[in-house]
Structure 1
Amino acid sequence: MKKQSEDFQKIVKEVKDKACLKQKIYRNTLKTFKQFKLIAQEMITALQSETTGIDSNVPLEFEEKSAFEFEIKIGGDVLLIYMHTNVHGFQMNHPLMKTSYIQDDHSRNYCGLINIYNFLADSFKYNRINDEGHLIGRIMINKDQHFYVEGRRQLNFLFNDFVNQKIDMAAIQSILEQAIIYSMSFDLTLPPYKLSQFISVGEVLQDSSSMRIKTAKRLGFKFSFDD
């Protein structure tokens, strides 16, 4: 090979620094995701035990969908927990970018991502493909296993000490508990009448289970980030 150019050396440095860094973050995130799965399974088993004999029609289920996705079903709610396989960085205007923790080592800015979505269980049961879910929380984990959570209500302020907090089993259980509490208290509400007063013949003629009428917990309403 010819004498290595400066550009080639830059590529070598990127591989050593950023590519290896992202692989480490990916491994951290995958390990954390597996812990989420384990704790979710344990929580569902405990709920089944605690509610035995109350109502057999109330589903309490765990289902692994893929290596990067699982769901828990509690009553009329489904929580879909999904690990993104790519590494992300915070936007430059994010408040965390101003902390000495990141300014001292910019690589701490890069994080793996785990998302928590809330859906209506009936959306899947009746194949209502146009129903919408809500992102109620997302967890970012960096190379040092420090983590940060953005989300609804308690999820938006209980886990925002990125500089000091490290992800562990206790934190994961607390995140899942808060996500479940929020989803069960986040009730389905009627959309404004004006948004519901028209329906096309085509929608009526479709199979009712997949009718294109959207159902979502706050369809037609605007709500604040900390709702």
Structure 2
Amino acid sequence: MPVTLPAPWQFVGSVLAPDELHRLESIPGSSHIDDPRQWAVVRNDETGRTFLLRVQLGTEIAEVAGQTVPVRIVTSIVVPDADGREVTGSDLRSLPVKAISAELTRESVEYGMRKMSRWLRRRHHERNELPALDNRAGMTDDEFFAAVAEHWLNAHDAGDPSPVDRVVEASGASKRTAQRWAAEARRRGYIPISATGKSGRRPKRG
């Protein structure tokens, strides 16, 4: 299920290169950086302004999809595209922080459930039976991008630093095409924004 926010806001990704992530982590300081965390990227489509949000596990507990889990909370905000423009109180107040926390909490639970399901399938020796990617004409778009996600996520869960390469191997497509497919699979909700890999791209500045 895609992660959605109230208009005019939308998630545009969370994939950051290791060196970029290291620089960002130095902004909030060293305290608690070993906690489970991620960086989410959101954009206001009306103003074009992009925000990087550092998200961590909070102390509040909620029930999501029948599971009791800690809520993910926004702990730091970075404005990468300010370019000398003032960041106003209105900019910050307009951020749908509660909606962001709720959506990322829900998405993390669903991702955990999907990850467990994939692990169980691998335990039953089904890893080599991933859906084929070389006959897109025989699939609907949703079937195809779900299959792309299956290859991408199996590589990601196995610790592959560049999951998109598995998509290239399975399909025979160029890496650029595989990156585009992975981005579309992520947009459709088949790859969670909390799953990172080199196939992601930085958001465009507004």
TM-score by length of structure 2 reads: 0.25
Specify which structure has the bigger relative contact order, considering alpha-carbon pairs within 8 angstroms and separated by 6 or more residues: 2
TM-score by length of structure 1 reads: 0.23
Rg larger for: 1
